[in-house]
Amino acid sequence: MKTSMIRMAAVLLATALAARTPALRAADDDPFANNACVNCHRDLPGRSSEIVTLEWKQSVHHAAGVGCDGCHGGDPSVRRDQFAIEDDYKRAAHLQRNPDFLLMQDRTDPFVGPVRGRKVSYFCGKCHADIKEKHLGSPHGDFGDPTCLYCHGQGSHKITHPTAEEIIDTRPKSENGRCSPCHRAATMQAVTTIKKTLIDAEDRIQTSGNLYARLESWGYQNLELEKLHHHAREVRSQLRQIFHSFNMRDINNFASEIGDVADRTQATYDLVSNLRRTQRRQTVVGASAVGMLLLFAGLLVYYKRSFLDEH
């Protein structure tokens, strides 16, 4: 009887799980399945839908689980079936439409529509605070243009993973270069220099980290050198923060610090490698010497038994 009841309960549970609504099953696969912003915008015509379906869904924000409300505010938890009137549903989702008020009060719940100029820095700076400070103090921040979106999304919500190769686009204006519309030949040289400095510094972080990983596998440890291996992500982040200042002195100073650590890592790696090679040679020579001694001793024993013992 008890076994039958357990089996019946298992069947009922399996049936209940299989009969879940499509919306709930979708929520398991898509964390934004019940997001009011996504559900509403994907049904809208034109640009209002493309923002979600063609741009945001291919962005680093979507990949990181950051929805529309993470940047624009609003209430993504409301549902259409809670409201008899469509406008009431939209009003509840948006809550508030005054971006100036939101930025001044540093509130995250009211809805914020499109922003322009220096306000973009404050908008993105709600999450990227350190970069915001660097950017606002830079020539770009002083002018209010280009904005974060121009460099990182080309004006769209498709914010991709930033790399120096992609962001610092030194192609000429005729090839739709990203920097050349504003920068002329003289300043483009500075842009090219900054790009090379960043790429070289990131390459050195990678190479030095690989070398230190090998040193650790040999049992070597050094707190100063390990930061380009154990803390490479933080070093890259700091490098990119400084880059947003467009201050060549600060960029070069930090790149030089990275280079100094990388040089010491390389020197340490060379020294330890030479010591290991020397140790291996000494081991081989020692083993060879022992082998020769054993062979000589064997020959002596053989000679003694074969010739001396007979006489």
Q: Assess whether 97 and 149 both reside in one domain.
A: yes
Residue 111 in contact with residue 95, Cβ under 8 Å? yes
Q: Is the pLDDT of residue 14 over 50?
A: no
Residue 25 resides in a domain:
no
pLDDT per position as a tens digit, 29-84: 778 888 988 988 888 888 889 999 999 999 999 999 998 888 888 888 888 889 89
Q: Assess whether 114 and 224 both reside in one domain.
A: no
Q: How confident is the model at residue 309 (pLDDT cuts 50, 70, 90)?
A: low
Residue 135 in contact with residue 144, Cβ under 8 Å? no
Mean per-residue pLDDT over the chain, rounded:
82
Residues 229-254 have a mean pLDDT of 92
Q: Assess whether 149 and 243 both reside in one domain.
A: no
Q: How confident is the model at residue 22 (pLDDT cuts 50, 70, 90)?
A: very low
Angle between helices 185-217 and 248-303 (to 10 degrees): 30
Q: Which has more pLDDT, 147 or 208?
A: 208
Residues 184-210 have a mean pLDDT of 91
Name residue, tokens 């990678």: 206
> How many residues in the chain?
311
Please name the helix (run of DSSP H) or strand (run of DSSP E) that holds residue 303, with its range, or none: helix 248-303
Residue 306 resides in a domain:
no
Residue 38 in contact with residue 52, Cβ under 8 Å? yes
Q: Considering the entire predicted model, what is its pTM?
A: 0.69
Q: Is the pLDDT of residue 229 over 50?
A: yes
Q: Assess whether 46 and 117 both reside in one domain.
A: yes
Residue 71 resides in a domain:
yes
Per-residue confidence (pLDDT) for residue 161, from 0 to 100? 85
Q: Assess whether 51 and 136 both reside in one domain.
A: yes
Per-residue confidence (pLDDT) for residue 266, from 0 to 100? 95
Residue 215 resides in a domain:
yes
Q: Is the pLDDT of residue 130 over 80?
A: yes
- Kindly report the three-state secondary structure assignment for every residue of 129-162: HHHHHHHHCCHHHHHCCCCHHHHHHCCCCCCCCC
The residue out of 161, 177, 204 marking a domain boundary is 161
Q: Provide the number of structural domains found in the chain.
A: 2
Q: Assess whether 49 and 156 both reside in one domain.
A: yes
Q: Assess whether 61 and 154 both reside in one domain.
A: yes
pLDDT per position as a tens digit, 135-162: 988 988 888 788 888 888 877 899 988 8
How many Cβ atoms sit within 10 Å of the Cβ of residue 80? 12
Question: Percentage of residues in the chain with pLDDT exceeding 70?
Answer: 85
CA–CA gap between residue 78 and residue 86 (Å, rounded)? 12
CA–CA gap between residue 177 and residue 117 (Å, rounded)? 21
Q: Assess whether 148 and 221 both reside in one domain.
A: no
| Segments forming the whole domain that contains residue 131 | 35-161
